[in-house]
C-alpha cells in the first residue's frame, strides 16, 4: 500500500504558479509527476546498494530489561575480526567502548574506536567501533553490527537513524536488541531486504515488582540503593540537594549531557557504595530517563519523581513503554541478586505506574524515515529552476522548498516521514533574513543543533550564519 500526501499548502503553491503564468496549465501534470519522483520514499532499502549486494543475517534479541540480551550480542561482537556497536546514547557508546577495550565483555581486550556526535577517539589499528546510531558508517563492510534499543525506530525524531542502520549497514551479521513489540516490523524489514532472520527470546534474570505504596511525597522515605528519576538537569540537581539536606545519604547524578568521564565516576561511586575505606559512601542515584537505555547501574529501587516530561515540544505523560524501560532498570543479577522494586514519589502517580506494567504493548507498526541529504538537495535545486523570480532575485525560501517536499512525499505503509523536515524548516526560518546562496543556507541547516531547548542556541546559530554571510 502506498501513502501519497499532497498538503493544502503544496496544492496552493503549485496552483499559484499556474494561475500567474509561471507554469503553463498543461505543464501542471508533468511538474507534479516530477515532484512525486523527487520525493518518492517508497523503497528506502534501495538507497543502500552496498548492503543490498550482501545476504545479511539478522539476529533479533528480544526480551525485557535486565535479561542479558545486549550482553550476548556484545559477546558476538567481541569475538569477530571487525564490527560496530550502535547505541542510543553517547554515554552508552562510551560504556561499550570501555568494555571492549578492557576485555570486560569476554575477557579479551578488543582494540576499538569511538564515534559520537561530540567525541571521536580513533585507533588506527582498531577494526571495531562503538558509536551512537546516528554515526553508523554505511560504507565499510564489517563482520558484525549490534544495534541497541531497536524499538527506537518508531521515534518521530530519532527513529530514522535506526531505520537507516537496519537497512544500510553492510554487516554479515546484524544483532538487534530491543523490546518484543518490535518483532513484527523487524520481520517485515528483513523480508524487504531479502535477508535472513533468527529470533532469540529472553526472560528477565531477576524479579521485578511495582510497590503497593509510594514514598508519600516525602524524600525522607528514600532508601540506600534507590534511583530517583527526574526530567531536566535543573530538577535532577535540585533533587540531589533536597535529598542530601533531608536524609543522611549522599547522591550521585547521571543524565544524558553529562561528560562521559564524569558519568563513569558517578556510576562507580554509586555501584561501589559502602566499599570506601574512609566511610564516604554515595548511596542514592538521581538520574534522567537515560538510565532506561541500559547504562550499567546497580539499582535496587527505581522511584519516579514524576511521570511527566517535556519532550522538546510539549510536556506529556510518559508512555507505558517508557515507564517499563526506565522502571525495569531496578534489580541486579549476579553474586548478589536483588529483586527490583518500582514505585513513585507521589501517590497520584502510582495507579498509572501499575497499569503500565500490566498493559500489553501493541506491536510497532511503522519505522521512521529521513530522506538522504542528497535527495533533499536534488529536490531543492530542481524546484528552484521553476520557482517564480521577483526582479531577477531567487525568491524560493528553503523553508518553502522543504514544506513542498513534505507535502509531496510518498511512503509505503511500513514507514513514515519523521520530524526531520520540520527541524530543518525551523533552522531555515531562523536564518531566513540572512542573505546567502541557497546552497550555503542548506548547509547551515544541516548543523546538528537542537533549537527546542535554549533561546541562546537560536541566537548563536543566527549570529554564526550572519557573520558567515558577511565573510567575517
pLDDT tier at 277 (50, 70, 90 boundaries)? low
pLDDT tier at 30 (50, 70, 90 boundaries)? low
> Residues with Cβ < 8 Å from 437, sequence gap 6 or more?
none
pLDDT higher than threshold 50 for residue 311: yes
pLDDT higher than threshold 60 for residue 391: no
Out of 58-62, 338-342, 442-446, 454-458, the most confident range is 58-62
Q: How far is Cα 235 from Cα 178, in angstroms, rounded to an integer?
A: 29
C-alpha cell at 14: 503549485
pLDDT > 90 in the chain, percent: 63
pLDDT higher than threshold 90 for residue 357: yes
Contact 134, 84 (CB under 8 A): no
Give the position of cell 542548506.
442
Rounded to the nearest integer, the mean pLDDT of the chain is 87
pLDDT at 340: 92
> Comparing 2 with 251, which gets the higher pLDDT?
251
What's 40's DSSP letter?
B
pTM of the model: 0.87
What would the DSSP string read from start to end of 286-344?
Answer: EE-GGGGG-----BSEEEES-SEEE-SS-EEEPPHHHHHHHHTTB-B-STT-B-EEEEE
Contact 298, 222 (CB under 8 A): no
DSSP H or E segment with residue 114: strand 112-115
pLDDT at 394: 55
The number of C-alpha atoms within 13 Å of 323 and in the hemisphere containing its C-beta is: 27
How many residues would you count in the chain?
Answer: 472
Is the sign of the CA dihedral 41, 419, 362, 287 positive or negative?
positive
pLDDT at 453: 63
Amino acid at each position: 500500500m502506498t501513502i501519497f500526501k499532497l498538503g493544502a499548502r503544496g496544492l496552493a503553491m503549485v496552483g499559484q504558479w499556474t494561475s500567474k503564468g509561471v507554469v503553463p496549465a498543461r505543464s501542471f501534470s508533468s511538474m507534479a509527476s516530477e515532484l512525486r519522483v523527487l520525493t518518492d520514499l517508497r523503497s528506502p532499502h534501495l538507497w543502500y546498494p552496498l548492503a543490498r549486494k550482501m545476504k545479511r543475517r539478522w539476529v533479533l534479541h528480544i526480551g525485557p530489561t535486565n535479561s542479558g540480551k545486549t550482553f550476548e550480542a556484545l559477546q558476538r561482537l567481541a569475538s569477530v575480526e571487525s564490527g560496530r556497536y550502535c547505541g542510543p546514547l553517547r554515554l552508552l557508546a562510551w560504556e561499550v567502548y570501555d568494555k571492549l577495550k578492557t576485555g570486560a565483555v569476554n575477557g579479551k581486550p578488543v582494540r576499538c574506536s569511538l564515534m559520537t556526535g561530540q567525541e571521536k577517539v580513533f585507533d588506527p589499528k582498531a577494526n571495531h567501533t562503538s558509536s551512537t546510531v546516528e554515526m553508523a558508517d554505511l560504507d565499510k563492510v564489517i563482520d558484525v553490527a549490534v544495534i541497541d534499543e531497536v524499538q527506537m525506530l518508531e521515534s518521530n525524531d530519532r527513529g530514522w537513524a535506526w531505520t537507516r542502520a537496519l537497512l544500510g549497514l553492510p554487516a554479515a551479521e546484524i544483532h538487534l536488541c530491543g523490546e518484543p513489540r518490535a518483532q513484527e516490523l523487524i520481520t517485515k524489514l528483513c523480508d524487504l531486504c531479502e535477508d535472513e532472520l533468527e529470533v532469540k527470546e529472553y526472560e528477565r534474570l531477576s524479579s521485578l515488582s511495582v510497590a503497593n505504596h509510594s514514598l508519600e511525597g516525602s524524600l525522607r522515605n528514600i532508601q540506600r540503593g534507590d534511583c530517583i528519576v527526574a526530567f531536566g538537569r535543573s530538577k535532577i540537581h535540585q533533587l540531589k540537594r533536597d535529598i542530601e539536606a533531608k536524609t543522611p545519604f549522599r547522591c550521585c547524578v547521571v543524565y544524558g549531557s553529562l561528560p562521559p568521564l564524569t558519568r563513569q565516576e558517578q556510576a562507580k561511586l554509586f555501584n561501589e557504595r559502602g566499599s570506601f575505606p574512609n566511610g564516604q559512601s554515595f548511596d542514592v542515584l538521581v538520574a534522567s530517563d537515560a538510565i532506561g537505555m541500559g547504562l550499567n547501574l546497580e539499582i535496587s529501587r527505581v522511584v519516579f519523581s514524576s511521570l511527566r516530561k517535556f519532550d522538546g515540544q510539549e510536556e506529556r505523560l510518559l508512555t507505558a513503554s517508557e515507564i517499563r524501560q526506565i522502571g525495569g532498570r531496578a534489580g541486579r543479577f549476579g553474586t548478589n541478586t536483588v529483586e527490583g522494586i518500582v514505585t513513585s514519589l507521589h501517590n497520584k502517580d502510582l495507579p498509572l505506574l501499575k497499569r503500565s506494567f500490566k498493559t500489553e504493548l501493541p506491536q510497532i507498526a511503522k519505522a521512521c524515515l529521513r530522506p538522504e541529504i542528497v535527495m533533499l538537495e536534488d529536490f531543492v535545486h530542481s524546484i528552484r529552476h521553476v520557482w517564480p523570480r521577483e526582479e531577477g532575485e531567487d525568491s524560493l525560501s528553503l523553508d518553502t522548498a522543504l514544506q513542498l517536499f513534505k507535502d509531496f512525499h510518498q511512503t509505503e505503509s511500513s514507514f513514515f516521514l519523521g520530524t526531520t523536515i520540520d527541524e530543518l524548516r525551523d533552522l531555515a526560518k531562523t536564518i531566513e533574513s540572512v542573505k546567502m546562496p541557497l546552497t550555503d543556507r542548506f548547509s547551515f541547516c544541516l548543523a546538528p543543533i537542537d533549537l527546542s531547548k535554549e533561546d541562546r542556541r537560536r541566537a548563536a546559530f543566527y549570529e554564526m550564519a550572519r557573520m558567515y554571510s558577511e565573510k567575517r
